[in-house]
C-alpha cells in the first residue's frame, strides 16, 4: 500500500457495444461527480471518454452534426455476441477507435487508480473491452468498476469484466474509504454524501467540448413502477436546494458557453411548489438564455397550467412525458402514475403555454411481457390524436424490478444466463412472431 500526497486518478467512460446508440444528452454524470469530489480533496484527475464525439484525432474531418447538443457517435461494425448471431442488424462498437484510446492512455502519467463506470446491463461487452485495454497499458494499477450495470449485475460484473473491485450503489459515500483501502490516501471528508448541496461540480471542464451539460436536481423517485430500477439504485429521495441548481446552470452557461441542459432527475416535478417552481423562477430571474431537455420522463399529473407557462418561460425545449401506454384501465399492475383525464389535461396545459407537437413527446413502452402489438398501435394513435409526438421506448428487462420474473417467463432468450439477452433492440420479451417489419410499422405509425 502506498501513499501519495496528490494521487493521480483516471476516470474512464467505456465504449458501447450495441445494435444502435445515439448521444441523447448522455454523460457519465456519476463518474464526473466523483471526479469533482476527488479533485476538491486534492487529487489530480484525468478523464478519458471512449464515446467522445469531439476527440482531437477527428479534427481532420468534419465534426458530427449537433442538434441541441445531441449527435451521432463514431462507430465500427464488430462481431455479434454469442446467442445474437441471427439478429439481422449490424452490431457496432460506438465511440472512438481503440488505437485512439490506447494512445490517450499511453500519453498519461501512470495513474494511482482507475475508475470505470457502466450504464445499461447489456452494454457490458463494451465495459469489458475498455477494461482489457486499460489493463494492457496499466497492468498493476488498481481498477474499480461502478455504475448501473455494476450495481444490478454485480456478480456477473465481478466474474466477467476484469475489474479489481466492483462497487455497487451510489459512489459518493464509498469513494474515500475505497481510496484509503486501495492506495492509502485518506483525506478528511469535505462533504456529506447525504446532502447533495455539499457535492462539488462534476469535472465536465475536462471534456474536449461541452455540447450539453447534465443537471441532477434530485435523486430517487417516490413511484415504484414495475419496469423501473430507480428505487433499487437510489432507495432514498434526496433533493438539492433550488438556488444551488440555478447557480450551477448559470456557471456552465456563463463560464463555458453551454446552452443545452438535460435534466437527469427521475422525479423532477414532484413537490413542485418547493422544488421545480422556485428553481425555474430562479432561472428566469437570472436571465440566462438556455434550452432545457428532459430525456428522463416527466410525471404527467404534476404539470399544471401555471407550471407549463413557467417551463416555457424558463427555456424548456424538449419535453418527454412518462405515458407508457394509453390502456389506462389495465395499467395498475405496471404503474399508477397517470389517468386518461390527467394526460389530456396536461397536454392541454402544454399546448396553451406555447409548446408544439415537435417539442412534446410521450414515451410508449413496446415489448412488455405479454404485450399485444395492437395495443402499442392504439397508444400511438391516441397520442397523435392528442396532438403531440409518440416516442417508442423499447422495454428493457431489468433485474430486481417487479416485472423481472414476468420478463424471464415471457422471453425467448435465457435472460438469467447473460445480461446480453436483455438488449431492448431485440425485443426479448415479445413472442417469436415479432419481426423487424413490425418494428418498422410502429416507427412509421409514430412518424406519420
What distance in Å separates the CA atoms of residue 353 and residue 356, rounded to the nearest whole number?
Answer: 9
pLDDT at residue number 444:
81
CB 49 within 8 A of CB 85: no
> Integer distance in angstroms from the first to the last C-alpha of the chain?
62
Radius of gyration of the chain (CA): 22
**pTM of the prediction?**
0.94
pLDDT at residue number 440:
78
**How would you classify the pairing of strands 8-13 and 44-49?**
parallel
The residue that leads in pLDDT, 448 or 13, is: 13
Backbone angles phi, psi at 238, to 5 degrees: -135, 145
Q: How confident is the model at residue 330 (pLDDT cuts 50, 70, 90)?
A: low
Domain 212-447: CATH architecture, name and number where available: Alpha-Beta Barrel (3.20)
The overall average pLDDT reported for the chain is: 92
Q: How confident is the model at residue 338 (pLDDT cuts 50, 70, 90)?
A: confident
pLDDT in tens, 269-291: 999 999 999 999 999 999 999 99
Domain 8-183: CATH architecture, name and number where available: 3-Layer(aba) Sandwich (3.40)
pLDDT in tens, 360-419: 999 999 888 988 888 888 899 999 999 999 999 999 999 999 999 999 999 999 999 999
Determine which of 229-243, 297-311, 328-342 has the lowest per-residue pLDDT on average: 328-342
| CATH 3.20.20.70 in the chain, residue ranges | 212-447
| CATH 3.40.50.280 in the chain, residue ranges | 8-183
Q: How confident is the model at residue 60 (pLDDT cuts 50, 70, 90)?
A: low
Mean per-residue pLDDT, 422-439: 78
What distance in Å separates the CA atoms of residue 255 and residue 245, rounded to the nearest whole number?
Answer: 15
What distance in Å separates the CA atoms of residue 55 and residue 52, rounded to the nearest whole number?
Answer: 6
Give Cβ neighbours of residue 173 (< 8 Å, ≥ 6 apart).
Answer: 193, 194
- Reported in sequence order, the residue ranges of 254-394 that DSSP labels E, i.e. its strands, are 260-263, 291-293, 316-324, 360-366, 389-394
Q: How confident is the model at residue 1 (pLDDT cuts 50, 70, 90)?
A: very low
Q: With a cut of 70, say whether residue 61 has pLDDT above it.
A: no
Amino acid at each position: 500500500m502506498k501513499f501519495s500526497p496528490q494521487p493521480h486518478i483516471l476516470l474512464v467512460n467505456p465504449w458501447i457495444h450495441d445494435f444502435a446508440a445515439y448521444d441523447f444528452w448522455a454523460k457519465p454524470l456519476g463518474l464526473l461527480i466523483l471526479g469533482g469530489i476527488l479533485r476538491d480533496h486534492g487529487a489530480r484527475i484525468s478523464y478519458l471518454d471512449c464515446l467522445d464525439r469531439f476527440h482531437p484525432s477527428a479534427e481532420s474531418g468534419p465534426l458530427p452534426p449537433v442538434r441541441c447538443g445531441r449527435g451521432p457517435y463514431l462507430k465500427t461494425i464488430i462481431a455479434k455476441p454469442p446467442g445474437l448471431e441471427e439478429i439481422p442488424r449490424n452490431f457496432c462498437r460506438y465511440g472512438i477507435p481503440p488505437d485512439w484510446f490506447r494512445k490517450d492512455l499511453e500519453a498519461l502519467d501512470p495513474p494511482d487508480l482507475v475508475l470505470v463506470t457502466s450504464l445499461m446491463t447489456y452494454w457490458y461487452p463494451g465495459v469489458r473491452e475498455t477494461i482489457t485495454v486499460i489493463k494492457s497499458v496499466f497492468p498493476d494499477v488498481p481498477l474499480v468498476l461502478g455504475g448501473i450495470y455494476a450495481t444490478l449485475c454485480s456478480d456477473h460484473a465481478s466474474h466477467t469484466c476484469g475489474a479489481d473491485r466492483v462497487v455497487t450503489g451510489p459512489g459518493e459515500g464509498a469513494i474515500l474509504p475505497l481510496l484509503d483501502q486501495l492506495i492509502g490516501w485518506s483525506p478528511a471528508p469535505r462533504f456529506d454524501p447525504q446532502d447533495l448541496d455539499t457535492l462539488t461540480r462534476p469535472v465536465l471542464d475536462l471534456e474536449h467540448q461541452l455540447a450539453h451539460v447534465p443537471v441532477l436536481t434530485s435523486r430517487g423517485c417516490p413511484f415504484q413502477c414495475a419496469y423501473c430500477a430507480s428505487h433499487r439504485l437510489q432507495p432514498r429521495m434526496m433533493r438539492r436546494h433550488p438556488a444551488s441548481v440555478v447557480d450551477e446552470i448559470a456557471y456552465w452557461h456563463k463560464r463555458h458557453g453551454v446552452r443545452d441542459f438535460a435534466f437527469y432527475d427521475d422525479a423532477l416535478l414532484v413537490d413542485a411548489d418547493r422544488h421545480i417552481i422556485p428553481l425555474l423562477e430562479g432561472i428566469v430571474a437570472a436571465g440566462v438564455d438556455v434550452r432545457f431537455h428532459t430525456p428522463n420522463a416527466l410525471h404527467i399529473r404534476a404539470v399544471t397550467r401555471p407550471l407549463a407557462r413557467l417551463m416555457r418561460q424558463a427555456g424548456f425545449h424538449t419535453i418527454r412525458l412518462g405515458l407508457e401506454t394509453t390502456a389506462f384501465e389495465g395499467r395498475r399492475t405496471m404503474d399508477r402514475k397517470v389517468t386518461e383525464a390527467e394526460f389530456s389535461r396536461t397536454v392541454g396545459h402544454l399546448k396553451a403555454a406555447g409548446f408544439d407537437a415537435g417539442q412534446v413527446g410521450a414515451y410508449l413502452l413496446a415489448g412488455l411481457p405479454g404485450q399485444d402489438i395492437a395495443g402499442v398501435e392504439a397508444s400511438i394513435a391516441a397520442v397523435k390524436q392528442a396532438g403531440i409526438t409518440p416516442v417508442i421506448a423499447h422495454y428493457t428487462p431489468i433485474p430486481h424490478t417487479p416485472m423481472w420474473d414476468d420478463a424471464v417467463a415471457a422471453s425467448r432468450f435465457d435472460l438469467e444466463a447473460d445480461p446480453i439477452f436483455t438488449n431492448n433492440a431485440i425485443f426479448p420479451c415479445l413472442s417469436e412472431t415479432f419481426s423487424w417489419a413490425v418494428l418498422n410499422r410502429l416507427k412509421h405509425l409514430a412518424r406519420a
